[in-house]
Chain A
Amino acid sequence: MIKKAMREAYGLKLVELGQKNQTIVVLDADLSGSTKTNLFQKQFPDRHFNMGIAECNMLLFASGMSIAGKTVFASSFAMFAAGRAWEIVRNTIAHDKLNVKIVATHAGISVGEDGGSHQANEDIAIMRAIPNMRVLCPADAYETGQIIEYASETEGPFYIRLTRDSSPVFLEERKTVFNPEKALVLEEGKEICIISTGLMTYTALMVQELLKSKNIFASVIHLSSIKPLDEKTLLQSVQKAKLVVVCEEHSIIGGLGSAVAECLSEKSPKKITRIGIPDVFGQSGKSDELFDYYGININKIVEKIEKIF
């Protein structure tokens, strides 16, 4: 299976969209080589603005430019785009429904060696809590392209969460089509319903296979749109399940696990297990070591499921 980084797909898609849509401008905060907005900058130097190490100001400029008619993409690492600038995102961008697409890369612990100060494990939680904000978390580079295109065509604020590492491009062969109102049912199986987002969806599929070899049958639902949440598919999918497992590369507080728990506990109570980063700060280490350490790789998840199922 080919591997590609979501941020690579983001940069390439921006270049493609920039050709068609002259209103698109792109802002970055001294990380354009990492977020890959530098690809857009090479093609359209007049529509790319490096704001320097000033994430708050970047999002204020983004707001202003959107009010003056631009479709604005603004990028930095998730820690700084979501974290540092949160109140600006809330009071200006989201409140006024401005046409600003915050595309944050390097989310989660897969950032690796940079350590806890750079591992945004809370960004979904804080973005999801803001009214008017759409929170999208693609599973791979293929879906990233679709989501970026969708955001460019849809008026209003977006928070799109991407990761650093190359990861398997597995949705391409399934020819999936992104639709914020339609979660992707990737596998069907009665006993367990695995719900996942971001790069954890690939892991969820591997978990499903491993469980199958042990005669435990699970469905896998990919929710790239954490907000709005496709409650209909969610409720249908969990109907027969004895256990719901939610997987995300994010704190177990406030992310997809919480969103699913909120929905199900009100509408169809189920036993839920949240697989994610426990309530701690991250640390330096290799990405795969950290996934193991925090118990969110294939083997650790299967182990946990077997224990409680």
Chain B
Amino acid sequence: MDRNGLEKQCLEVRRLIVKSVYEAGSGHPGGSLSGVELLTTLFENFLKFDPKNPKSDSRDYFILSKGHCAPLLYSIMAFKGYFPVEELKTLRKLGSRLQGHPDALKLPGIEVSTGSLGQGFGVAAGIALSLKIDKKVNKVYALLGDGELQEGTVWETAMAASHFKLDNFCAVIDSNKFQIDGSVETVMGVEPIKQKFESFGWECVQINGHDLKQVDEAYQAFLSHKSGKPFLIVADTLKGKGVSFMENTEKFHGKAPSPEEFEKAMIELGEKAL
């Protein structure tokens, strides 16, 4: 998909995120909105997958390590044909395949259930190791939050991924500078992320995670790198990107918009409310 198409698609994804969280009455819009360009680009132009055959041997693996941003993943999966867009209305409701956090047993296309932070990253590295010993060319991608980096196992995984030279593994940090209790810096500083991972033996690039050109180049760089190291994309982003009152705050980390806020958000996203 070209840049123009991607731009439109990202806007669509943002609308679906806000709509589905609003319909659900709860959920996590902030970190979903910050990752839109990162994940839309990945699914449109890089990740190999077949919604009709989600367990295909030739697929690349994507793992949403920050599982609370399920509305982001579900919105993109709906567009890609894993399930009807209509089904997004069932998010977080009793009996739905669209659980509050991704559930691998309920929804085809989810590689592993996530929601407990830090775990998806390690699982992704395990998949990468397995592919590697089988000499397969499939790639593994994981999306993490910046607050998530505070979990200790993240650094165990970082160490092991470099130890095992998992150059088929690309981790993306959605560095939106906020977590639940406030800014990452005030809660428990994680910077400098790039230098930390570099010292752990990773190949790293730092980009603006809303600049589609930079996002595209970062994934290209992963696919062409020959360093033999695992690859990290540190993406500077805005939490809540696209909805003015959700931007740059922890307030909409885990809260649905009110009816008035919803109306306002949809107007900002270029669509009149339902």
Binding site for B on A (CB under 8 A): 28, 30-34, 38, 50-54, 56-57, 79-80, 83-84, 112-118, 283-286, 289-290, 293
Q: Would you call B24 an interface residue if the criterion is a C-beta within 8 Å of the partner chain's C-beta atoms?
A: yes
Which residues from A are CB-within-8-Å of B117?
53
Query: Of A30, A80, A284, which one neighbours B94 at CB under 8 angstroms?
Result: A284
Which residues from A are CB-within-8-Å of B25?
113
Q: Closest Cβ of chain A: how far from B179's Cβ, in Å?
A: 5
Q: Would you call B96 an interface residue if the criterion is a C-beta within 8 Å of the partner chain's C-beta atoms?
A: yes
Query: Of A30, A285, A286, which one neighbours B187 at CB under 8 angstroms?
Result: A30
Let me know if B100 and A115 touch, CB within 8 A: yes
In the bound complex, CA of A33 to CA of B180 (Å): 8
In the bound complex, CA of A253 to CA of B93 (Å): 26
Query: Of B24, B103, B181, which one neighbours A116 at CB under 8 angstroms?
Result: B103
Query: Of B94, B152, B179, B187, which one neighbours A56 at CB under 8 angstroms?
Result: B152
Binding site for A on B (CB under 8 A): 24-27, 67, 92-96, 98-101, 103, 113-118, 147-148, 150-152, 179-181, 187-188
Let me know if B67 and A117 touch, CB within 8 A: yes
Let me know if B95 and A31 touch, CB within 8 A: no
Which residues from A are CB-within-8-Å of B181?
28, 30-33, 38, 50
A-B contact pairs, 30 of them (CB 8 A): A30-B181, A30-B187, A30-B188, A33-B180, A50-B181, A50-B188, A51-B188, A52-B179, A53-B147, A53-B151, A54-B152, A56-B152, A57-B152, A79-B116, A83-B116, A112-B26, A113-B25, A114-B26, A115-B99, A115-B103, A116-B99, A116-B101, A117-B99, A117-B100, A117-B101, A117-B115, A283-B99, A285-B93, A285-B94, A289-B94
Let me know if B101 and A114 touch, CB within 8 A: yes
Let me know if B180 and A113 touch, CB within 8 A: no
In the bound complex, CA of A50 to CA of B179 (Å): 12
In the bound complex, CA of A80 to CA of B119 (Å): 12
Closest to A79 in B: B116
Closest to B116 in A: A117
